[in-house]
Amino acid sequence: MIRTGLFSRRKFVGTSAQAAAAGLLARTALPPNLLAAVASPWEADGYNHKVVVRIYDPAVAANYTSGTPYYWRTFDTARLEAMLDAGIMQIASAKTPREAWQKILPGVSSSSRIVVKANLNNTAREWKAAALNTSPAMMIALAKSLNKAGVRNENLTILDCSRYIPDEMKADVWAQAPGVQMVGGPQPASTAVQEMPYGGHYVIPQVVLDADYLISSHLMKKHDGGQTGAMKNFFGMKADGKVTFAHGEPAWFHGHQVRGIVTHPELRKRLKLCINEAVLAANSPDTLDTWTFGDLFPDGRPSSLFLSRNPFLQDVVGWDFVRAECSRFPCRVGPTITWLKNCAGYLPAWQEAAIESGVFVDGAPGMPPRDMRYDPALVEYISRRV
């Protein structure tokens, strides 16, 4: 197990050699279109569930070229929806998307209200071609998948309190998922707060407390804290939209701000799924980049969705993929994952031993040449092609 910083190339090679010697380079994912049996027991509380699923489709962004304006319009939304459906069915050991959503969102119905915390942080920059945000394609795919469980578009809210949603994004979503609520900017506050070390309380907006379920739709981006993941995504859900609690002393990547927010009882009881839209990726919080670790990301694209009910393990796996890229082709400096280690120990399933425990192995048929493997006692990682 590697426990310090990023993999160097020598460490990756050494790890792979050790894995081969131990017989671990056997295929670690199933052939396309086959569901693996989930061995980890289903948990009523997703924070205890140990499953992380990667769904890969190399064709989902095959038409994308760097610098394309409105880059998400090159995504195959039908393929993205199929990837999402495959991922939730895998997590829930379900035969249909409807059955999967009914298990992931207990009691879901046409009257259920769902908030999706999107990451639209880069809409404040040159966002149309050069910066990564939760894409309208992802929002459309999610709406259409939820429709299969009876969820009505008018009860689905895409939310980012820290940014206003550009009109072009709204129009693209409404063209294929009319009625979805696209809510950006500061929102009315609730009485639910989390103390922060400085900068005032973290206040949860009333629209979240009015919801039955919460989903984190985040991105594969390198950051000062290693990555921008499922948990940090909720920084942008503070009611007034101001991240005043993150950049003082201690900075968020050294402190307990992430843990405090994601373990708040009102957030925990609503958060049912984390979706890492790793179709494209970024070498910094502010960019959109072609990744150069070609045997892990063919054509420079992860072309994947990562899904989990467990936000901690979602970020553990996400970080392993980010550090794999940045160990071979250095990106923005600052792999300070103290924030992730500070989350460990909150629950028995949130073990520090899981952090940086990914082992670099051969990919399965139809997958990239390289993938990750985990000790299933820590993370049950299922990787397959849709």
Task: Name the band, by pLDDT with cuts 50, 70 and 90, for residue 11.
Answer: low
Name the residue among 320, 313, 356 with its Cα closest to residue 4.
356
332 within a domain of the structure (yes/no): yes
222 within a domain of the structure (yes/no): yes
CA atoms of 71 and 346, how far apart (whole Å): 39
**pLDDT above 50: residue 67:** yes
1 within a domain of the structure (yes/no): no
377 within a domain of the structure (yes/no): yes
Name the residue among 198, 206, 261 with its Cα closest to residue 234.
261
Residues 21-27 have a mean pLDDT of: 36
Query: How many separate domains does the chain show?
Result: 1
CA atoms of 197 and 339, how far apart (whole Å): 14
Q: Are 129 and 71 in contact (CB under 8 A)?
A: yes
- Binning the chain into helix, strand and coil, the percentages to the nearest 5 are 30, 20, 50
Backbone phi, then psi, for 159, in 5-degree steps?
-130, 135
CA atoms of 101 and 106, how far apart (whole Å): 8
**pLDDT above 80: residue 33:** no
Where on the phi/psi map is residue 70: left (φ > 0), alpha (ψ -120 to 50), or beta? left
CATH number of the domain that 147 lies in? 3.40.50.11440
Q: Are 195 and 280 in contact (CB under 8 A)?
A: no
| Domain assignment of residue 289, given as a range | 9-385
4 within a domain of the structure (yes/no): no
Backbone phi, then psi, for 234, in 5-degree steps?
-75, -5
| pLDDT tens, position by position, 121-176 | 998 877 788 899 999 999 999 999 999 999 999 999 999 999 999 999 999 999 99
CA atoms of 220 and 133, how far apart (whole Å): 10
Q: Are 8 and 361 in contact (CB under 8 A)?
A: no
